[in-house]
Amino acid sequence: MDAFIAGMPKCELHLHIEGTLEPELKMRLAERNGVRLPYRTVEEAREAYKFDSLTSFLVGYYESMQALQKEQDFYELAHAYLTKAASQNVRYAEIFFDPQAHTSRGVPFDIVIRGLRRAIMDADRLLGVRAQLIMCFLRDFSAEYAMATLMESLPYREWIVGVGLDSDERDNPPVKFEKVFARAREEGYLITAHCDIDQPNTHEHIRQCLDVIGVDRIDHGSNALDDEALTAEIARRGLGLTVCPVSNGFVTSDMKAAEIRRMLDLGIKVTINSDDPAYFLAYVSENVRAVQAKLGLSRDEVVQFQRNAFEIAWLPRSVKDAYL
Ligand code: ADE
Ligand code: ZN
């Protein structure tokens, strides 16, 4: 089964590029840029990856980003992920990036996106991996800052397929960004949003995504399975859910395997993804393997995750069909 999962053509739809910053690259970039981080060696950096909730994870996550300063740093970050993805036979990836995690500390939007874009173009040509960018708004910043970021993205509209919503969900409901998403839709962006699994008001947030924001898919979202009406609505709309089992296991000790089983049974378009693989120590193959082992899934069932992913990918129909 390991070899089958490793060799299977894959599609990854929930991957934060900043979450692929491995300790080795982080320390190398920090040194090159003369940035002081609160650890001096790769081992100490690895030790610092300790967390038991989304909030405690995000603290170290943003702190690490200080290492990323130049266009070349963003290039190397994305190049390292895409090389790893190619080694796991990922054929297509939709990659989240958090411009505000960089602009808020003085790194220009242009630097971030040019580095990422150059790595994506090279990967298409040299690694056989296709990728597109999804720009996420940090929900713990204001709606005004999100709107300004949306405006700043417009000169690069052709390089970005859609927008998302991530970071700390507590007290930051989707409706806070209603106008931002409405404007994003007018600009032709597709829309997704995180509905994390250990959050208060989770069902209300999922409902807002469906009824107010009008999302095209949901990131995580497994909590919907505890609510019959939400489950039925997601199934009826054929909405995709990008689930990240190892990440979920880290922040709640629950991979949400039972929910994944039910989604497969109900025909909901559930997909398996790695979220922040450098922090959760598992890329997409390891995530699929973890769920397969936990649920005793068949080969057909693990293939179904990939069919779902290509089906809900933000690609033209003819391109998707070539993968399917
Ligand atoms: N940013 C990076 N990973 C995240 C996650 N799992 N939830 C919310 N924000 C994130
Ligand atoms: Zn995520």
Which residue among 13, 15, 16 is best mutated to probe the pocket of ligand 1, counting the most ligand atoms within 8 A of its Cβ?
A: 16
DSSP of 65-96: GGG--SHHHHHHHHHHHHHHHHHTTEEEEEEE
| pLDDT given at position 273 | 98
| Cα(105) to centroid(ligand 2), Å | 21
- As given in the structure block, the two tokens for residue 8 are 């299977």
| pLDDT given at position 52 | 78
Distance in angstroms between the alpha carbons of the first and the last residue of the chain: 21
Euclidean distance between CA atoms 92 and 25, whole angstroms: 23
**Which atom of ligand 1 lies nearest, measured to the CA of 61?**
2
Ligand nearest to the CA of 139: 1
> Known binder of ligand: residue 203?
no
> φ and ψ at 198, to 5 degrees?
-115, 45
DSSP 211: I
Euclidean distance between CA atoms 39 and 37, whole angstroms: 5
> Known binder of ligand: residue 276?
yes
| pLDDT given at position 110 | 98
| Cα(238) to centroid(ligand 1), Å | 24
Over residues 11-35, mean pLDDT: 97
| pLDDT given at position 310 | 98
| Cα(309) to centroid(ligand 2), Å | 16
Over residues 232-258, mean pLDDT: 95
> From the centroid of its chain, how far is CA 119?
17
- Residues whose beta carbon lies within 6 Å of some atom of ligand 1: 16, 19, 54, 166-167, 194, 196, 247, 275-276
Q: Whose CA is nearest to atom 6 of ligand 1?
A: 275
Query: What is the per-residue pLDDT across 103-150, written as a single tens digit (0 to 9) for each?
Result: 999 999 999 999 999 999 999 999 999 999 999 999 999 999 999 999
DSSP 275: B
- Residue type, position 104, single letter: S
Euclidean distance between CA atoms 270 and 204, whole angstroms: 20
Euclidean distance between CA atoms 147 and 181, whole angstroms: 9
DSSP 36: -
Residues with CB under 5 A from ligand 2 (ion): 275
pLDDT bracket for residue 183 (50, 70, 90) = very high
Euclidean distance between CA atoms 37 and 48, whole angstroms: 11
Over residues 246-261, mean pLDDT: 93
DSSP of 147-192: HHHHHHHGGGGGGEEEEEEES--TT--GGGGHHHHHHHHHTT-EEE
| Cα(31) to centroid(ligand 2), Å | 28
| pLDDT given at position 58 | 92
| pLDDT given at position 250 | 87
| pLDDT given at position 219 | 98
**Which atom of ligand 1 lies nearest, measured to the CA of 251?**
6
Question: How many other CB atoms sit within 10 Å of the CB of residue 178?
Answer: 15
| pLDDT given at position 205 | 98
Query: What is the per-residue pLDDT across 267-295, written as a single tens digit (0 to 9) for each?
Result: 999 999 999 999 999 999 999 999 999 99
Exposed e or buried b per residue across 128-167, where buried means at least 16 C-beta atoms within 10 angstroms of its C-beta: ebbbbbbbbbbbbbebeebbebbebbeebeebbbbbbbbb
pLDDT at 258 over 90: yes
| Cα(231) to centroid(ligand 2), Å | 21
232 contacts: CB under 8 Å, gap ≥ 6? none
| Average confidence score pLDDT of the chain | 96
Q: What percent of the chain has pLDDT over 90?
A: 93
pLDDT at 178 over 80: yes
pLDDT bracket for residue 69 (50, 70, 90) = very high
Which whole-number Å values give the CA distances from 23 to 121, 137, 216, in the listed order? Answer: 25, 25, 34
> φ and ψ at 34, to 5 degrees?
65, 35
| pLDDT given at position 54 | 85
pLDDT bracket for residue 252 (50, 70, 90) = confident
Euclidean distance between CA atoms 300 and 292, whole angstroms: 11
pLDDT bracket for residue 251 (50, 70, 90) = confident
Domain 2-323: CATH superfamily is: Metal-dependent hydrolases (3.20.20.140)
pLDDT at 50 over 80: no
| pLDDT given at position 47 | 85
| pLDDT given at position 51 | 79
> φ and ψ at 100, to 5 degrees?
-70, -20
Over residues 186-207, mean pLDDT: 96
